[in-house]
């Protein structure tokens, strides 16, 4: 394997003997050098030391070794070298000038000794002496390693975290603390780190795992900070076991997913319920309609009356379904507001135009009290319109004589622009004890019970819920026997 001349015991020396020329090209490479650096003699001879064992940042230093040895005839140095497999080792170097000393024939013989373990022990002791107590006082596990990737110092928190006895981690490769699958890339990160050391905060970067002595893994967060210790660069790693937090995070994530699924199931249920309830109503409303249209034939007065009751009840049921679904959607947070600039005069006039036929049919006056200047207000047209329709519709239903007056005003209150819609009627009014529960679902006042006025029992509740969604309020004032006034107050959204 080796082509070097057999010098017997010289071949067995543990140190590396390397003969180079003045620019560092290898002329001889001993069996000891083969063992220490992993390059065979055949690979090494003819190549520059720079291409073999000198790490890039130390090329100048290496040229200095040669120059100094050539000048003085000898020299001793220490340095960091890279083996063929990428691992770093500390070496003590003795250099001797060879040949006749002429410039043309300058050669240098280096004898290099691997002092990595020696240095680890020495640095470890010195760091231990300087920082030992300090490290014990931090809650995180602390691992200090040098640039060859050897652990110099750990605190007892780190030993407990990784399951090692006190002192057991000293001088071990730091990769022993990593699961196998991360080791190769970690060596790369590590040498990169020492060429550009910088502080890296806890939790920055990838999901990391630690490996305990018993082979089990646990999720960790690590912060790194570089430190110069007696001219030896080291890195301080603070290690925190985040199993518990990861556990919480996962539980939270699962819970969120569960809620999302439950929400979706509820949506599906509401959509199906809506669909399934409407389908039979289609036949009820449809065929009572065809009968009332007298498509199959003439009807007598009783038949017409009873069919009208069927159709009215079916429509009532449909209104209930619509209101209930709307409420369910608001309560599930599924109703999105669509703010836009709304011409409120026009909105009121539209509602009045829609409902005027009902008022006219009962001989009730429907009056508008709106400013001449257009009131333009940023709100959700659909929601406001629905509330105003509901209030006006109620007012017309309950008023037998007199009028329903729809009012609109806008103004500034404490620097905030407010809009006030009011609907005033001359109906029977609401008893004081009923005012408190008026907006509760399925509560209907005395008047509706006496007069048999039909409603879903959800209209006012839905209106107040919508008002709340708009960030506004809906209130009622009434003098029993004289009528009442409902007022919607909203701010811009």
Partner 1 sequence: MAARILIAEDHPASMELMRYLLEANGYSTLTAGNGEVAVAVARRDRPDLIVCDLQMPNLNGYEVLEALKLDANLQCVPVIAVTAFSMMGDREKVLTAGFDGYFSKPIEPETFITQMELFLPPALRGRRPEGE
Residues that bind partner 1 (CB under 8 A): 270-271, 274-276, 278-287, 289-290, 293, 295, 314, 318, 325, 329, 335
Cα–Cα dist 314/63, whole Å? 100
Nearer to partner 1 by C-beta: 285 or 443?
285
Smallest gap from Cβ 462 to partner 1, in A, equals 14
Cα gap 339→381, rounded to integer Å: 7
User: What stretches of 230-386 adopt beta strand conformation (E)?
Assistant: 232-241, 339-343, 365-369, 376-380
Residues 6+ apart with CB under 8 A from 45: 26, 27, 28, 29
**Cβ proximity to partner 1, 284 vs 435, nearer residue:** 284
In a 13 Å sphere around the CA of 31, the CA atoms on its Cβ side amount to 14
CB of 290 to partner 1, least distance (A): 5
**How far, in Å, CA of 376 to CA of 356, rounded?**
24
In the bound complex, what is the minimum distance in angstroms from residue 296's beta carbon to partner 1? 8
d(CA 322, CA 389): 15
Distance CA 189, CA 207 (A): 15
CB of 272 to partner 1, least distance (A): 10
Cβ neighbour number for residue 333 with a 10 Å cutoff:
9
Backbone angles phi, psi at 87, to 5 degrees: -70, 150
- Choice between 281 and 410, CB closer to partner 1: 281
- Least distance to partner 1, CB of residue 382, Å: 9
DSSP 426: -
CA 62 to chain centre: 50
CB 489 within 8 A of CB 473: yes
Q: How far is the CB of 278 from partner 1 (least distance, A)?
A: 4
- Least gap, CB of 286 to partner 1 (angstroms): 4
Beta bridge partners of 93: 77, 112
Beta strand pairing call for 403-413 and 365-369: parallel
Report, in Å, the least distance between residue 401 CB and partner 1: 31
Q: Which is nearer to partner 1, 45 or 328 (CB)?
A: 328
Smallest distance from the beta carbon of 295 to partner 1, in angstroms?
5
- Quote the least distance from Cβ 299 to partner 1, whole Å: 15
Closest of 201, 189, 191, 187 to residue 237, by C-alpha: 201
Question: Whole-angstrom Cα distance, residue 113 to residue 81?
Answer: 11
Q: Please identify, using beta-carbon distances, which residue of 185 and 282 lies nearer to partner 1.
A: 282
For partner 1, the closer CB: 11 or 330 = 330
User: Distance of CA 248 to CAs 34, 230, 312, 406, Å?
Assistant: 53, 43, 55, 56
Nearer Cβ to partner 1, position 272 or 479?
272
- Name the minimum Å distance from CB 271 to partner 1: 6
Tell which residue, 219, 227, 218, has the closest CA to residue 194. 227
Show Cβ contacts of residue 302 under 8 Å, excluding neighbours closer than 6 positions.
Answer: none
Alpha-carbon radius of gyration of the chain:
45
Residues 6+ away with beta carbon under 8 Å from 103: 22
Q: How far is the CB of 275 from partner 1 (least distance, A)?
A: 4
Whole-number Å distance between alpha carbons of 344 and 353? 14
Closest among 117, 122, 93 to 171, alpha carbons compared: 117
The residue (of 59 and 318) whose beta carbon lies closer to partner 1 is 318
Please identify, using beta-carbon distances, which residue of 136 and 340 lies nearer to partner 1.
Answer: 340
d(CA 80, CA 86): 12
Give the whole-angstrom CA distance, residue 472 versus residue 379: 11
Query: In angstroms, what is the minimal distance from the CB of 341 to partner 1?
Result: 22
Name the residue nearer to partner 1 (CB basis): 47 or 313: 313
Q: Which residue number, 100 or 276, has a Cβ lying nearer to partner 1?
A: 276
104/293 with CB nearer partner 1? 293
> Is the CB of 167 or the CB of 289 nearer to partner 1?
289
């Amino acid at each position: 394997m080796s082509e070097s001349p057999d010098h017997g015991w010289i071949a067995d020396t543990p140190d590396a003997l390397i003969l180079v020329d003045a620019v560092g090209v290898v002329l001889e490479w001993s069996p000891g050098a083969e063992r220490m650096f992993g390059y065979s003699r055949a690979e090494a001879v003819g190549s520059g030391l720079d291409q073999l064992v000198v790490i890039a940042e130390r090329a100048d230093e290496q040229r200095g070794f040669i120059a100094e040895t050539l000048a003085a005839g000898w020299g001793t140095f220490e340095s960091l070298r890279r083996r063929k497999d990428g691992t770093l080792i500390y070496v003590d170097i003795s250099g001797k000038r060879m040949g006749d000393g002429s410039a043309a024939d300058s050669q240098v013989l280096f004898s290099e000794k691997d002092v990595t373990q020696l240095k680890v022990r020495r640095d470890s002791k010195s760091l231990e002496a300087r920082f030992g107590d300090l490290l014990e006082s931090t809650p995180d596990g602390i691992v200090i390693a040098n640039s060859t990737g050897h652990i110099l110092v750990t605190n007892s928190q780190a030993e407990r975290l990784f399951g090692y006895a006190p002192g057991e981690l000293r001088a071990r490769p730091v990769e022993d603390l990593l699961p196998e699958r991360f080791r190769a890339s970690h060596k790369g990160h590590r040498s990169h780190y020492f060429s550009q050391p910088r502080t890296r905060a806890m939790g920055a970067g990838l999901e990391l795992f630690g490996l305990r002595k018993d082979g089990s893994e646990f999720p960790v967060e690590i912060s790194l900070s570089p430190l110069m210790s007696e001219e030896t660069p080291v890195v301080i790693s603070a290690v925190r076991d985040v199993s518990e937090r990861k556990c919480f995070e996962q539980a939270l994530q699962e819970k969120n997913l569960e809620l999302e699924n439950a929400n979706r199931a509820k949506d599906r249920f509401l959509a199906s319920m809506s669909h399934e309830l409407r389908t039979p109503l289609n036949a009820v409303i449809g065929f009572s309609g065809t009968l009332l249209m007298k498509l199959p034939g003439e009807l007598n007065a009783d038949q017409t009356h009873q069919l009208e009751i069927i159709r009215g009840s079916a429509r009532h049921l449909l209104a209930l379904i619509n209101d209930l679904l709307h409420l369910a959607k608001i309560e599930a947070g599924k109703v999105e507001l669509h703010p836009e600039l709304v011409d409120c005069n026009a909105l009121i006039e539209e509602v009045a135009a829609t409902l005027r036929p009902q008022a006219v049919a009962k001989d009730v006056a429907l009056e508008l009290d709106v400013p001449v200047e257009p009131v333009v207000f940023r709100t959700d047209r659909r929601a406001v319109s629905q509330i105003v329709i509901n209030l006006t519709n109620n007012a017309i239903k309950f008023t037998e004589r007199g009028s329903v007056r729809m009012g609109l005003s806008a103004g500034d209150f404490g620097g905030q622009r407010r809009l006030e819609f009011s609907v005033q009627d001359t109906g029977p009014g609401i008893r004081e004890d009923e005012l408190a529960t008026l907006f509760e679902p399925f509560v209907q006042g005395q008047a509706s019970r006496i007069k048999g006025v039909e409603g879903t029992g959800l209209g006012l509740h839905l209106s107040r819920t919508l008002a709340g969604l708009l960030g506004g309020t809906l209130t009622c004032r009434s003098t029993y026997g004289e009528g009442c006034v409902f007022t919607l107050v909203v701010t811009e959204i």
